[in-house]
Structure 1
Amino acid sequence: MKKKIKVSTILEVVREAGDLFLQEYKLNAIPINKQQFFSALNSIDERCMAVLKAGLNDEFPETAWNTVDEFDHDGQKQALPLSKYWVCDAMDGAIQYLQHIPGWTINLALICDGELYFSVIYDPLANEMFWAEKGSGAFMNGNPIQPLAKTDPDIMLAVFEYGHQDPAIPGFNQKHGTAVTALLNQYGVVRNYGPHGLQLAYVGAGRIDVFHQLGLDTFNWLAGILIAREAGAEILNAKGESWKWGDESLLVSSPGTGRRLIEETAGNILN
């Protein structure tokens, strides 16, 4: 990207969107049926996107917005044929928000010529802003971040996630079970937290040692992948190959940890 982007403008707009929902956190009634549930999710998405577009379209008039649904399997397999566009997870962890529990963020990524160029993840409850620009490192509230260099798996924290595969893949839940069992056998602490992107940023910041997920969940990953990568984390798929757009698994860890996991679990962590 030839033109230098105004990072401060992007961060301010993302903060505005997150703080809008922070003001209303726990004030909504928790949905008790599907109609209320999906109506609330749509409202979150529409209101968040309205704030982001109002704040960014004037500064980035030539940058489009992703129009592919996050549950569109084929649409997540490759980048759009556009020179520049935004991918926004309007609220990663919206279910937690609706249920009045922590673990929700505003995620935004800028794609340039099919590659991740800039991303930001804002956690309003913690007042923490993670962001990264390609080739420039990763930061949290202005301070550089990097993974921790632990060597003892007994004191490592591993997390696992899963996506919504539609249509359902036969045997997919069993594969998840095998993978989680491998994590439990390998690490001292294993958790499932919720917001995908934030967990990837936490790997970059040394708060989490291993993130593992089977299945395709590209749009939930993108913002966190760039932050983790720029921080110095290892970005692989579950086969141990360097992750690329369209891969149907993700393994992000401190350097060397993911490859050791694959070697020591003898394939039980594979997709």
Structure 2
Amino acid sequence: MASANLNIMINAARKAGRSLVKDFREVENLQVSVKGAGDFVSRADHAAEAIIKDELRGARPNYGWVGEETGAEPGEDPTRRWIVDPLDGTTNFLHGLPHWAVSIGLEHKGEIVAAVVFDPAKDEMFTAEKGDGAFLNNSRLRVSGRRSMIESIFATGVPFGGARELPATLQDLARLMPQTAGVRRWGSAALDMAYVAAGRFDGYWERRIKAWDVAAGILLVKEAGGFVEALEPGQSPVDSGAIICANAQLFDGFAKTIRQG
């Protein structure tokens, strides 16, 4: 059975998801402002984050908060914080591509202990709690069992425009792609990690990422039996800004290939 905190997170994700689906149906009418090259924010982001914040902080007002759109706010309880991306995959959303998600992680003493990644377009709810496994719509998840790189597919985020990580990522691809069955760039880090947990992807890495993009995904992968590390060993995967994950059989070889850069 889900804990009280996880049920709060699920309800918040579903409520925000309903709002996002409504806006997604009218995507051509969205009021869009530009935060930076290739990095868009819409009215839908803000509305969804307001819904989630109201639900989570209303239920647990003493917890801290980190949201993509509203930033960080301390709580009376310094050991716990919500880490939220209300719409991961904004560019997909604004182009009418049905691949985006709500991501909510609960951190306790520096470790993610509960996670929700909700894909409203497909009605897929990925959840996990520390020590209790990972689930998709109540069905248990396991990472893939593939052992060979050449049979495996990996996911990443290719930097847009003139981002400084673009050359290194292109070098990653040049080293990795000849060893694999393919690489996917689908535009939502939260779903990339959820798909690793579900065995749909065999691994994922990204060189520039925010805590709210991957907080929930980190726990999903771990609870599904996968390995997750910061790209630089020894750093926190939540806060390092670069991450890598895969099933246990592939992780060492995959990480070695990527870390050569």
Whether these two folds match at TM > 0.5 is yes
TM-aligned CA deviation for residue 56 of structure 1: 2.6
TM-aligned CA deviation for residue 6 of structure 1: 3.7
Matched ranges for 1:213-224 at <5 A:
213-224=206-217
Work out whether 1:135 is the aligned partner of 2:125: no
TM-aligned CA deviation for residue 27 of structure 1: 1.2
- The separation in 1 between residues aligned to 2:154 and 2:231, in whole angstroms, is 14
Aligned to 1:90: 86
Structure 1 residues 155-214: Cα deviation after superposition (integer angstroms, max 9, x where no partner) = 211112146799x54xx3221111011221110111111110111011111010010212
Assess if the C-alpha contact under 8 Å between 2:154 and 2:182 holds in 1: yes
Matched ranges for 1:194-209 at <5 A:
194-209=187-202
Q: How many residues align?
A: 251
Assess if the C-alpha contact under 8 Å between 1:131 and 1:138 holds in 2: yes
Aligned to 2:61: 61
- The separation in 1 between residues aligned to 2:16 and 2:103, in whole angstroms, is 10
Aligned to 1:107: 103
Work out whether 1:148 is the aligned partner of 2:144: yes
- Of all paired residues, the percent bearing the same amino acid is 22
| Structure 1 residues 237 and 56: alpha-carbon distance in aligned structure 2, compared to 1, 3 A threshold | closer
- Unaligned 5+ runs, structure 2: none
Aligned to 2:8: 9
- The separation in 2 between residues aligned to 1:127 and 1:255, in whole angstroms, is 28
- The separation in 1 between residues aligned to 2:68 and 2:16, in whole angstroms, is 21
- The separation in 2 between residues aligned to 1:215 and 1:6, in whole angstroms, is 29
| Structure 1 residues 100 and 216: alpha-carbon distance in aligned structure 2, compared to 1, 3 A threshold | closer
Q: TM-score, normalised by structure 2?
A: 0.84
Assess if the C-alpha contact under 8 Å between 1:163 and 1:217 holds in 2: no
| Structure 1 residues 258 and 219: alpha-carbon distance in aligned structure 2, compared to 1, 3 A threshold | same
Which has more strand, going by share of residues? 2
- The separation in 2 between residues aligned to 1:23 and 1:151, in whole angstroms, is 42
Q: Where does structure 1 differ by over 3 angstroms across 4 or more consecutive aligned residues?
A: 35-40, 67-70, 162-166, 237-246, 268-271
Work out whether 1:27 is the aligned partner of 2:43: no
TM-aligned CA deviation for residue 139 of structure 1: 0.9
Aligned to 1:43: 43
- The separation in 1 between residues aligned to 2:144 and 2:113, in whole angstroms, is 24
Aligned to 1:78: none
Assess if the C-alpha contact under 8 Å between 1:240 and 1:262 holds in 2: no
Assess if the C-alpha contact under 8 Å between 1:239 and 1:270 holds in 2: no
Assess if the C-alpha contact under 8 Å between 2:67 and 2:212 holds in 1: no
Assess if the C-alpha contact under 8 Å between 2:196 and 2:203 holds in 1: yes
